[in-house]
Amino acid sequence: MIPEGRRAFGARVAELRAERGLTQRELAAEIGRTTSWLSQVERGVQPVNRLDVLRLLADALGVALHALRPDAPRPVEPAEAAPEPNDLDQVRLLLSGHPALEVVLDPRTWNTRPSLADLRRAVDHAWSLAHGDRFSELTASLSSLIPTLERVVRTVGERERPEAYSLLARTYQAMSAVFARQNEADAAWVAADRSIAAAELSGRLPDVIAGTFRLAHACVRLKRYDQAEHVAQSAVNALGRHMDHVGVSPEMLSLLGSLHLALALVHARCRSRAEARREMELARHVAAQLGEDRNDFNLEFGPTNVEIQAVSVAVDLGDAGEALHVGGQVDASGLSVERRARLALDLGRAHAQLRNVESALRCFTEAETLAPEMVRSHTAARAAVRDLMLVAGRSASPELRALAQRTDAMS
């Protein structure tokens, strides 16, 4: 017999969810839980007693905690615990305050300036670390590279200044990319904005567009899908007009195709199936024009990456069979560790949707081997692992239990 209190609480959750126009799947994703867990809550089967989970539900439903659960405990809040440290903490500090205040106050305080050739190599190395998910090494690199570049752009000669600003823009783009990958969307937003500002000062439009691509992904991570769509679509429109004026180049095609992929992702997250598929076809058309896999602006755009993104879009739309069909034909061996891991992760999510526990576990393990932090920081992957544990129940294998523990999937 389900207690009346739990039944009433579940009905209240269902009522508030309907008022907000959310499906069970959308609300579950919002709070990092599975659809089956939420379904059990709304039926009164699953109790919700933890205060942190109640707060998540209340925030997602747009109500105060005690409007959702009047009898919720009102404990004296202890001092807020510091967040657990991670490999990007030092990089986050670089975004705090002014990046080169002493040089602004007195440029004479900094006389040692590396050559632009050395800085180019350092920026390329930073991006190789980002693509390899080598975050600890990347932090060490950026901790010196960002302050150096911020000083260089303020003290270099006029002839060299545009390239210096371009290098600074590329470095902030790398920072934004890894923050987005680690679900630290606020930092990703700040870094993307700084990359755009530096790119404008470089006078190089493609660098500006590359920065807006990173900004769009930061908006996606924040679940600000309307803003993400606006950022990406505005960039597509501006880039189209620019190419009409100056002509088409491989670099411009890489940017254009990547923006269409960003729009496909936005529409897929909003469950706008027709729009997501339209953007995927536009990206395929651009990739066909390009005719090869490239890495302009560290976007890794090309026919292979388009199909990797097609897998992700299909999974987000719930089309697991299509995702597995497309993914089974992709050879990602020529792309970065990050791209290969993302493909394995999305194939794992597709298998999880079909309740193929062993196949999903194999894919998640492959992704974790390639890029350990990716599975642990990817909300949808953790939800998929949680689903697998619920499906397997007591018969869950030791390997699956270990994966769930490593990814904190059952918290």
pLDDT per position as a tens digit, 294-305: 999 999 999 999
Average pLDDT for residues 174-178, to the nearest whole number? Answer: 94
**Hey, how many other C-beta atoms are within 10 angstroms of the C-beta on 157?**
8
The HSE-up count of residue 337 (CA atoms within 13 Å, CB side) is 17
Residue 81 has pLDDT above 50, yes or no: no
Q: Are 264 and 276 in contact (CB under 8 A)?
A: yes
Average pLDDT for residues 240-256, to the nearest whole number? Answer: 94
- DSSP, res 156: S
What six digits make up the tokens of 203?
A: 């006078």
Residue 111 banded pLDDT, cuts 50, 70, 90: low
Between helices 320-327 and 337-353, what is the axis angle to 10°? 140
pLDDT of residue 109: 67
Average pLDDT for residues 188-199, to the nearest whole number? Answer: 96
Question: pTM for this one?
Answer: 0.77
Residue 37 banded pLDDT, cuts 50, 70, 90: confident
pLDDT of residue 79: 43
Q: How many residues does the chain have?
A: 411
Q: Are 326 and 122 in contact (CB under 8 A)?
A: no
Residue 82 banded pLDDT, cuts 50, 70, 90: very low
pLDDT digits (tens, 9 = 90+) for 260-286: 999 999 999 888 899 999 999 999 999
Average pLDDT for residues 236-257, to the nearest whole number? Answer: 94
pLDDT of residue 375: 75
Three-state secondary structure call for residue 391: helix
pLDDT mean across residues, the chain: 87
pLDDT digits (tens, 9 = 90+) for 41-59: 899 888 887 666 787 788 7
pLDDT of residue 63: 80
pLDDT of residue 332: 94
pLDDT of residue 110: 66
Angstrom distance (rounded) from CA 14 to CA 22: 10
- For the chain, the C-alpha Rg in angstroms (whole number) is 23
Average pLDDT for residues 236-249, to the nearest whole number? Answer: 93
pLDDT of residue 294: 95
Average pLDDT for residues 382-410, to the nearest whole number? Answer: 83
pLDDT of residue 72: 60
Residue 80 banded pLDDT, cuts 50, 70, 90: very low
Token match 């061996």: residue? 333
pLDDT of residue 52: 65
**Residues 123-139 as b or e (16 or more Cβ within 10 Å = b):** beebbbbbbbbbbeebb
Q: Which of 306, 312, 276, 313 is nearest to 291 (CA)?
A: 306
pLDDT of residue 322: 96
Residue 213 banded pLDDT, cuts 50, 70, 90: very high
pLDDT digits (tens, 9 = 90+) for 138-158: 888 998 899 899 999 988 899
- Of the chain, the percentage scoring pLDDT greater than 90 comes to 54
Average pLDDT for residues 255-264, to the nearest whole number? Answer: 97
Q: Between the CA of residue 217 and those of 182, 183, 255, what are the distances in Å? A: 12, 10, 14
Q: Which of 9-23, 203-217, 333-347, 396-410 is the least confident region? A: 396-410
